[in-house]
Structure formats: structure tokens, C-alpha cells
Structure 1
Amino acid sequence: MKRAVELFLEYFDVLQAESETLRNCAYRIRYQVYCEEFRFENRNQFPDAMERDEYDDQSDHCLFIHRPSNQAAGCSRLIHIDPANGLSLPFLRYCKESINYQLFNPDDYAFNEIVEFSRLSVTRQFRRRCSDQGMFYTKPVSSQSLNKKRHPFPIVPVSLFLASISLFLESGAAVGVAMMETRLSRMLHIYGLRFEQVGPVVDYHGKRAPFILRRENATCWMTKEVLELFYCIQERMRESRQQEDALSLVGS
């Protein structure tokens, strides 16, 4: 069976979406997932079929590309605090009461020391199995699925998190926060992406809890396979920022 990095290099790519065209690809994916499929956002607020909000201008965006079809398969963003516009991070704005301050106190950090993982979305056609419909991620494949020769590695969601973690480490921030489903955190934990839960489950785009990833622990628990993939994605993200022809890699 191919290693995760071999699977990635053969079939996928990841880009930092810096241009307007690439960001629009991400916004269209978010519209499909957040507005049409899960109905977390009102589709009538986005007549151009691109889901956006006030945090996009202070975020780094990633696109996950399926090479054979030349299509974007998923996206994510990393939000920074911009003191110029007065916006705090979404988890502080909407879910501050869910934080257990004995486990994590945001007030202990300067504004540029906290970032937020946000809007991780995978298109429906790239979720692995029919039973995964209605989920934001692909669950680890069971032994029953292995008998059907399906690759057990959830390449799309893990790669999107690794791309965001790469941006997190480059940012210099001390802590990355994510409001996520507990089952997603358990899946990530299997592969060494160990987010710490720092509060109870609340109703925020579904049942989610606050999790943090500390800078000093971001890569130390990653499995050998995931760490190899992380370095590959990290390098690919750096290269994508330097490529003038990045726009041609994504279909409309």
C-alpha cells in the first residue's frame, strides 16, 4: 500500500490561496458545504454562490487540489487578529463562554499570539464513502473497508489541517484554536495531531467544543507517516507562493 506522501504527490496538491481567483475557489467550496449542504449559513446572503465573511481579509487561505480532475477538493483558513479593524477571533466573539479558563486563558496572550483554524471544508464528491455524507471529514477507514481496497488514510482532511498547521508555525503564534466536533479531534489524534479540549461542547455550527494546539506540541506527536506528509505539504505551500502560474492549476 502506498504511503500517504506518495498518494498525495501522485493525486493531490495544496496551495496557499493568495490571489483573488484562488480565494474565490475556496469561497465557492464553502458555499457548497456551509450553505447548500449543511445549511449553517443562509444561502440567500450569497447571491454569487461564494460564502465569505468579515474574517477573510485577515486570514491565510489554503486550497486542496485533485490533480487528475484539476478541481479544488477542499479548503481551510487560518484567521489572525487584526487590531486595525477591532475584530476579535470568532471563538472569542461567539464561544467565549465555552472556554475553561483554568485550561486555557486567552487573556494570557498578546493579540498576535493566538490564531484560529477555521472553515475546513471538503466537497461532497471527495468524501470517501456514501456513509460519510453529512460529515466535514472522512473517517478512518475500517478493516471492512480495507477488504474493499480503499486506502485507510483520510488524505484530504488531514492534509488541510497540515497545511493550516504549516501556516500557524510560520505565523509565530503560540496557540491555534479550533471549534471542532469531538469525533474529528479523535480522528486527528490517531495520526498525532493532538488538539487539547479546553471546554465543553456547545452549539456552534453543530455540536462543537473548543480545542487548542500549542506551538511547542504542533508536530512532536505526529506519526512518522504524517510527519513525512507534513514536510511535503510545508514545502509545497512555500513553492506555491512563488509560482506565477498557480492560477492554472485550478479549474473553475
Structure 2
Amino acid sequence: MPAVSQPQQKFSVNFSGHAVQPSRDKAFFKSIEELRYQVYCEECGFLAPDDYPEKRETDEHDANSAHFAALNEAEQLVGYVRLVFPDALQSFPFQTHCVSILDNVILPPPAQSAEISRLMVHQNYRRRLGELPPAGFPLAETPAEAPRANDQRNPSPQIMLTLYREMYVYSVNNNIRYWYAAMERSLARILARMNFGFQQIGPFTDYYGPVAPYVADLRVLEYQVGQRDPALLAWMRAPLAQS
């Protein structure tokens, strides 16, 4: 595609995205590990808190990943995601749990792929389930009230877009064409509403909750977003034009 000039419309007016290097940004990555602990251990119960006495969640995939964070206007951490690269066996974390693949699915080359992992938004920036953003970005969002116990919420679309933009720019610059993700059906629907369509490639299984493996081809994603919302694609690609 040709270079896109700086778009006038912004799709995340209250948040900024940043690539994070754990070895360089040690203090900041500590805050990311603390957020991961809050979400995966305390809020969702996916991991046992006793296994993380320092209240910081990390795992063996961190060293083989690219990390991204979203900050609010006060430069507070409000969202996080990582892209996990293939391991020495050319496999991804989701394949340990999602072992079945649907018929006629051909997995893309591992060298051109990465898995979206640990996608999370701070609890104060989540919408109650069913509260999807209205058509027509940008959205002016302020922190939501803290959720009650068992109060499921959808993540802020601004923060989600900020994180996906960071992953997209990184992927284009590093020859990553395919994204894997193990996610709930509700999140897949939210992403589709935001013009980020993923293809389900396997059945649902228990992997930090009931999830199924999905894959997205970034070339297809670019085409779909460009057809449905050209301004969104221009905003996604703007950092590439500026670099």
C-alpha cells in the first residue's frame, strides 16, 4: 500500500501506546507485572496468587516476546499486551492447550507469525458487558467506576485500539503477517465490531477460561478495515508514514 499522510481523525484521544523493553524499562515493566498479577491472579483467578509472592506475574514467554503498554494522559498504565514469537520448536503458547485444529485449516509459517497474549485493560477502564461503543470514533472516555465482584466488563475501545495499533506497527516493521489469539467468543465479536476480524481455527477449550484459537492475516485485516473504515486504517498506519 502507498504511504498514508497524517490523518486528521484520531481514534484514541486519551491514551498513548508504547513499546516496552523489559531489560531497559525495568521499573515500568515491574508495574506491568503487577497489573498482570491483579488481572490474572486476583480478578480472574486464572493463576494461583500463592505462586507469585511478590504480587508480580511473569512467565517463560516474556523473554521471547514484544511488549506494549497503553498509558492515560497522566502517564498511568491502563492496558498491556504482548506478541509471543515461536519457540525453538516453532510452536506457540496456545498450541499447548488448544491442541485440536478445525478441518481444512492450514497454519501460516511460524516465522511470519506471533501470538497475541496477556491482552488486558485496567479494571477502571472496562465497560459493563453489552456496553459497546457507538458508531463514530473518536470516543471521549473517562475512567469507569470500579467494577463490583463478578461484574464482567468489556475493555475500553480506545485502549484496545491503542494496543492493536502498537502491535500492528511493530508487526509491519518486523515482517509479521499473522496473529494468533486464544480468546472468548465475546471478545472476538467485539473485535469484529471494531473491524478487526479473526478466523476461528479450533474448538473451544479451557485455557484461562473457555476460549478458542483464532488467526488473523494482517493483509486481509488491512483490506477489511480499509473497505469499512478508511480513516481507521489511515490512523493505524500513520506511525509508519512518520518514521
TM-score (normalizing by structure 2) = 0.77
- Percent identical: 25
CA contact (8 A) 2:11 2:161 kept: no
1:101 shift after superposition: 4.6
SS at match of 1:16: strand
Partner of 1:49: 55
Partner of 1:76: 81
Opposite residue 211 of structure 1, the aligned amino acid is Y
Q: Which runs of 5+ in 1 are unaligned?
A: 133-137, 144-148, 239-252
Partner of 2:71: 65
Alpha carbons of 1:51 and 1:5: their partners in 2 closer, same or farther (altered >3 Å)? Answer: farther
Partner of 1:117: 116
Correspondence 1:95-114 to 2 at 5 A: 95-97=98-100, 99-105=101-107, 109=109, 111-114=110-113
Alpha-carbon deviations, 1:112-138, whole Å to 9, x = none?
22210110010101113xx34xxxxx8
Equivalent of 1:141, from 117, 133, 138?
133
Is 1:231 aligned to 2:237, yes or no? yes
Cα distance in 1 for partners of 2:218, 2:32 equals: 26
Which stretch has the larger CA shift, 27-36 or 57-66?
Answer: 27-36
Kindly report structure 1 stretches of 4+ aligned residues shifted beyond 4 Å: 232-236
CA contact (8 A) 1:139 1:187 kept: no
1:142 shift after superposition: 5.8
- Between Structure 1 and Structure 2, the one with more helix by share is 1
1:168 shift after superposition: 2.5
Cα distance in 2 for partners of 1:125, 1:155 equals: 13
Which stretch has the larger CA shift, 52-61 or 213-222?
Answer: 213-222
User: How many residues are paired up?
Assistant: 214
Correspondence 1:101-250 to 2 at 5 A: 101-105=103-107, 109=109, 111-128=110-127, 131-132=128-129, 139-141=131-133, 154-222=157-225, 223-232=229-238
1:141 shift after superposition: 3.1
SS at match of 1:221: helix
TM-score (normalizing by structure 1) = 0.75
Q: Which runs of 5+ in 2 are unaligned?
A: 1-6, 143-155
What is the root-mean-square deviation of aligned Cα atoms in Å?
Answer: 2.8
